[in-house]
């Protein structure tokens, strides 16, 4: 794997991703409110600066009328964003269906949908057709805005069909494709009915990038085993045409976090949180509420830790920030109820009149991040103290219910109270509030132990952000070995298998008792990595290599 530092990007860059960095909310016939989108792809690309870039993508909303489309296009243009309008049915079949019910679980080793998730093969086919149609609509918008010399950078599993569409339009277009999720073992990819068509389409790009060397290797194996093409150290070769395949580990804009920690408002939040949790160690999880994040596994491991270590019960708190995501997909709805139920049960089991062990906050992000090459809107800064207070109040309710249940365990109707317990946790999470960037930085900064227990994860930027905010505290990162970040932060983190609840519970104990010397040593390693492998380096390296690859290909064809 050839890893050179990139050169500053001189050409215009067209970033194409399913999701724009802002999602639109309609306020009137021609009035729109824009809020920052969630997820690692958006966070990383917002950290890329000093480039003349346009971002093409879906605004996350159905806009059937021309008045609305015109107004939204204008509002987005100010943010250098260009919308792709997908009608409701296509968006549903493409985004909820093929992308999030088929490709996302498959690429994270959760397999293809069974009968209950996908009734018939015909529905699979219709979702794939919608996927191709949607990709074609993205291609049309790119073509409309493309100028000679532009670099077109396509992102993620939503747009695997795009490189082919673009090259059919203009074979000279410089096209790169980057996957933000894992690429699974070729034996997993092999199960996908449209396996070959997708691989061939991605291979139309000049360069194909992944977060880790393993994902790149899996992709090359899929091309050799499924398509019968030749894999070389540089990539995949088809009849003398090379598609370069390589690993480009993503990073964050660590300076932005460091700068935020210096702001008086953030310092004030830090003081408030420190005061609020005085005498307790703070553990933190920040995840989209997605089945790949291993949130139930994390919470069950925490429960096991409390069960085995009664002396820690009133000395540690787990703050779990769960960002609502893909809420129209049934699997995500099921997960939401499951997590609420487990949290309610554990808080009922270990809560006291004054404290609960888990604060589960179901929070969309609100942030004003005018950073990088794209400006974003947001609501005012707001720290979620209200939910924390509510949680304490609900702890009292939980405890009362718990003792009631204990003293009346012979009364069968009382099992009806466990849904009430989960409902109380949900209530803490549905008040009208949100978490913004500064509040998030403050939370990272006061954390003693961060818990990332993804069952699979392309990279996981939350682990990077936590490390970037730990300048003084030197908190411990417990990190799943199945996150891409394990390959870069493995030496500093405590690596765990999230399926092994006993192991994770033991790691929690180890982390909470770790000596300051060991914490310092582990933190130093991770901090050095996070601050030297930034989002900017990632983007510059990818685009430089895309340019070099195109020049090399031209030289080869002339020879
Ligand atoms: P994924 O891309 O799967 O969501 P990552 O850990 O790579 O996982 O990235 C998640 C990103 O979402 C991080 O940059 C994190 O700061 C950001 N984020 C954290 N909290 C919220 C929130 N409440 N709303 C939206 N985004 C959030
Ligand atoms: C992951 C994916 C991104 C996606 C994000 C949020 O990070 O790799 O492509 O944008 O999750 O998911 P959503 O479906 O809301 O865009």
Q: Please, are residues 529 and 489 in contact by the beta-carbon 8 Å criterion?
A: yes
Of all protein residues, the one whose alpha carbon is nearest to atom 12 of ligand 1 is 39
User: Is the pLDDT confidence value at 443 over 70?
Assistant: yes
Per-residue confidence band for 210, with pLDDT thresholds at 50, 70 and 90: very high
Considering every ligand atom shown, identify the ligand nearest to the alpha carbon of residue 46 and give its number. Answer: 1
Closest CA to 519 of 510, 531, 528: 510
pLDDT in tens, 157-196: 999 999 999 999 999 999 999 999 999 999 999 999 999 9
User: Is the pLDDT confidence value at 364 over 50?
Assistant: yes
Q: Please, are residues 209 and 220 in contact by the beta-carbon 8 Å criterion?
A: no
Per-residue confidence band for 365, with pLDDT thresholds at 50, 70 and 90: low
pLDDT in tens, 226-255: 999 999 999 999 988 999 999 999 999 999
Per-residue confidence band for 409, with pLDDT thresholds at 50, 70 and 90: very low
Query: CA 83, CA 256: separation in Å to the nearest integer?
Result: 27
Over range 460-464, report the average pLDDT: 98
Residue percentage of the chain with pLDDT more than 70: 85
Per-residue confidence band for 396, with pLDDT thresholds at 50, 70 and 90: very low
Q: Please, are residues 312 and 266 in contact by the beta-carbon 8 Å criterion?
A: no
pLDDT in tens, 94-127: 999 999 999 999 999 999 987 655 554 568 899 9
Distance, CA 154 to ligand 2 centroid (Å)? 14
Query: Ligand 1, closest atom to CA 36?
Result: 25
Distance, CA 19 to ligand 2 centroid (Å)? 7
Per-residue confidence band for 363, with pLDDT thresholds at 50, 70 and 90: confident
φ/ψ of residue 20, rounded to 5: -75, 160
Query: Ligand 1, closest atom to CA 37?
Result: 25
Q: Please, are residues 183 and 219 in contact by the beta-carbon 8 Å criterion?
A: yes
ipTM score over 0.85, yes or no: yes
**The pLDDT value given to residue 119:** 55
Alpha-carbon dihedral angle through residues 319, 531, 271, 278, given to the nearest 10 degrees: 50
* Test site for ligand 1: of 286, 335, 379, 382, most ligand atoms within 8 A of the Cβ: 286
**The pLDDT value given to residue 224:** 98
Mean pLDDT value across the chain: 86
pLDDT in tens, 332-361: 999 999 999 999 999 999 998 888 999 998
User: Is the pLDDT confidence value at 413 over 80?
Assistant: no
Of all protein residues, the one whose alpha carbon is nearest to atom 19 of ligand 1 is 286
Report the length, in residues, of the chain: 559
Helical H runs in 146-253? 162-169, 186-189, 195-203, 213-227
Per-residue confidence band for 26, with pLDDT thresholds at 50, 70 and 90: confident
* Test site for ligand 1: of 40, 379, 438, 485, most ligand atoms within 8 A of the Cβ: 40
User: Is the pLDDT confidence value at 429 over 80?
Assistant: no
Distance, CA 534 to ligand 2 centroid (Å)? 20
Residues near 186 by beta carbon (within 8 Å), at least 6 away in sequence: 218, 221, 222, 225, 226
**The pLDDT value given to residue 401:** 35
Determine if residue 322 is left, alpha or beta; phi over 0 gives left, psi from -120 to 50 gives alpha, anything else beta.
Answer: beta
Considering every ligand atom shown, identify the ligand nearest to the alpha carbon of residue 251 and give its number. Answer: 1
Residue percentage of the chain with pLDDT more than 90: 72
Q: Is 38 in the pocket of ligand 2 (CB under 6 A)?
A: yes
Per-residue confidence band for 374, with pLDDT thresholds at 50, 70 and 90: low
User: Is the pLDDT confidence value at 7 over 50?
Assistant: yes
Query: CA 200, CA 182: separation in Å to the nearest integer?
Result: 18
User: Is the pLDDT confidence value at 207 over 80?
Assistant: yes
Q: CA end-to-end span of the chain, whole Å?
A: 25
**The pLDDT value given to residue 559:** 67
Considering every ligand atom shown, identify the ligand nearest to the alpha carbon of residue 159 and give its number. Answer: 2
**The pLDDT value given to residue 1:** 41
Over range 439-467, report the average pLDDT: 97
């Amino acid at each position: 794997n050839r890893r050179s530092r990139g050169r500053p990007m001189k050409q215009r860059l067209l970033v194409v991703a399913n999701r724009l960095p802002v999602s639109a909310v309609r306020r009137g016939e021609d009035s729109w409110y824009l809020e920052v989108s969630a997820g690692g792809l958006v966070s990383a690309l917002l950290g890329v600066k000093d480039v003349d870039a346009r971002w093409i993508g879906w605004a996350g909303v159905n806009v059937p009328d021309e008045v609305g489309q015109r107004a939204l296009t204008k509002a987005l243009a100010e943010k250098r964003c260009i919308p792709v309008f997908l009608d409701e049915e296509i968006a549903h079949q493409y985004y909820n269906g093929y992308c999030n019910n088929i490709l996302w679980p498959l690429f994270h080793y959760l397999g293809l949908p069974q009968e209950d998730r996908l009734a018939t093969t015909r529905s699979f086919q219709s979702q794939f057709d919608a996927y191709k149609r949607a990709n074609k609509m993205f291609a049309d918008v790119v073509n409309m805005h493309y100028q000679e010399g532009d670099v077109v950078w396509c992102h993620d599993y939503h747009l695997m069909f795009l490189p082919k569409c673009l090259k059919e339009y203009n074979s000279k277009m410089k096209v790169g494709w980057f996957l933000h999720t894992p690429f699974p073992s070729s034996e997993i990819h092999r199960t996908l009915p449209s396996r070959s068509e997708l691989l061939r389409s991605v291979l139309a790009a000049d360069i194909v990038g992944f977060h880790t060397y393993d994902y790149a290797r899996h992709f090359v194996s899929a091309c050799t085993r499924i398509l019968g093409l030749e894999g070389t150290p540089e990539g995949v070769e088809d009849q003398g045409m090379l598609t370069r395949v390589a690993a480009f580990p993503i990073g964050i804009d660590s300076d932005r976090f460091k700068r935020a920690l210096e702001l008086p408002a953030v310092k004030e939040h830090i003081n408030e949180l420190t005061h609020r949790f005085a005498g307790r160690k703070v553990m933190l999880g920040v995840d989209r509420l997605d089945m790949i994040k291993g949130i139930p596994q994390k919470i069950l491991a925490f429960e096991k830790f409390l069960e085995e270590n009664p002396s820690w019960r009133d000395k540690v708190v787990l703050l779990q920030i769960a960002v609502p995501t893909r809420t129209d997909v049934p699997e995500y709805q099921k997960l939401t109820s499951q997590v609420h139920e487990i949290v309610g049960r554990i808080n009922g089991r270990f809560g006291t009149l004054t404290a609960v062990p888990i604060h589960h906050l179901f929070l969309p992000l609100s942030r004003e991040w005018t950073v990088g090459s794209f400006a974003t809107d947001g609501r005012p800064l707001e720290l979620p103290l209200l939910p924390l207070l509510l949680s304490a109040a609900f702890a009292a309710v939980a405890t009362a219910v718990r003792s009631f249940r204990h003293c009346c365990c012979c009364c069968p109707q009382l099992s009806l109270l466990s849904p009430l317990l989960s409902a109380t946790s949900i209530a803490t999470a549905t008040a009208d509030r949100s978490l913004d960037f500064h509040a998030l930085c403050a939370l990272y900064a006061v954390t003693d132990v961060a818990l990332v227990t993804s069952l699979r994860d392309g990279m996981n930027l939350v682990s990077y952000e936590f490390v970037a905010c730990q300048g003084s505290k030197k908190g411990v990162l417990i990190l799943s070995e199945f996150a891409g970040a394990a390959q870069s932060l493995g030496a500093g983190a405590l690596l765990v298998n999230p399926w092994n609840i006993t192991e994770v519970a033991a790691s929690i104990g180890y982390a909470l008792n770790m000596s300051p010397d060991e914490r310092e040593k582990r933190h130093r390693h991770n901090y050095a990595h996070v601050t030297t492998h930034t989002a900017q380096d990632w983007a510059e390296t990818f685009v430089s290599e895309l340019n070099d690859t195109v020049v090399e290909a031209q030289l080869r064809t002339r020879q």
